[in-house]
Amino acid sequence: MTSIYDFSAKTIDGDEQKLSAYKGKTMLVVNVASKCGFTPQYTGLEELYEKFKDKGLVVLGFPCDQFGHQEPGDENEIKNFCSLTYDVKFPLFAKIEVNGANTHPLYKYLKAQAKGLLGSESIKWNFTKFLIDSDGKVVTRYAPTDTPEKIGKDVARML
């Protein structure tokens, strides 16, 4: 059986990162974008990360340009935007696709493990979040409108 630890992805700096490096940690995986109405959620995501990273939380940001062309930049532009605008310190990855023929294998897995509204697998918009427990089990899928502040209670309970 496949587990989240079987996947890897390119970091924002172009290095291959195995998700097994996060074994034993609670993960919050988010498809992010720089020019979206939900982009201010970077602030809450970073606050969650800073508050709980020493207790075992890691936030993983996956830029995606599939929704309204809201992540048009390259990896360097994305990294600079996140750093300068939101002081993001949690791990960011290279731009990926979360729907369609070129869906990243990690997202195929996440969508199959935690379906969306009415059993749909497709990601509806930027800032869809997946919460994975410290054993690698995908626990919950959150809608883009579910703010980091709102899901912070769930994260705290899992740590």
- Does the annotation mark 36 as catalytic? yes
Please tell me the predicted confidence (pLDDT) of residue 20.
97
Domain 29-158 has CATH 3.10.450.50: no
pLDDT bin (cut points 50, 70, 90) of residue 116 is: confident
Query: 27, 30, 33, 36: which is the annotated catalytic residue?
Result: 36
Contact by Cβ (8 Å): 48, 56: no
Please tell me the predicted confidence (pLDDT) of residue 90.
98
The neighbouring-strand residues paired with 10 are 16
pLDDT bin (cut points 50, 70, 90) of residue 1 is: low
Average pLDDT over residues 23-30: 97
Which H or E run includes 10? strand 8-10
Least confident of 33-42, 85-94, 96-105, 117-126: 117-126
Q: What is the separation, in whole angstroms, between the first and last Cα of the chain?
A: 25
The tokens of 131 are what? Answer: 């919460």
Q: What distance in Å separates the CA atoms of residue 97 and residue 144, rounded to the nearest whole number?
A: 16
Average pLDDT over residues 33-61: 97
pLDDT bin (cut points 50, 70, 90) of residue 135 is: very high
Q: For the range 45-50, what are the long-range contacts, defined as Cβ-Cβ under 8 Å and sequence gap of 24 or more? A: 45/88, 45/90, 45/148, 46/86, 46/87, 46/88, 46/89, 46/90, 47/148, 47/149, 48/148, 48/151, 48/152, 48/155, 49/89, 49/90, 50/89
pLDDT bin (cut points 50, 70, 90) of residue 120 is: confident
Phi/psi class of residue 149: alpha, beta or left (left: φ > 0; alpha: ψ in -120 to 50)? alpha
117 pLDDT above the threshold of 80: no
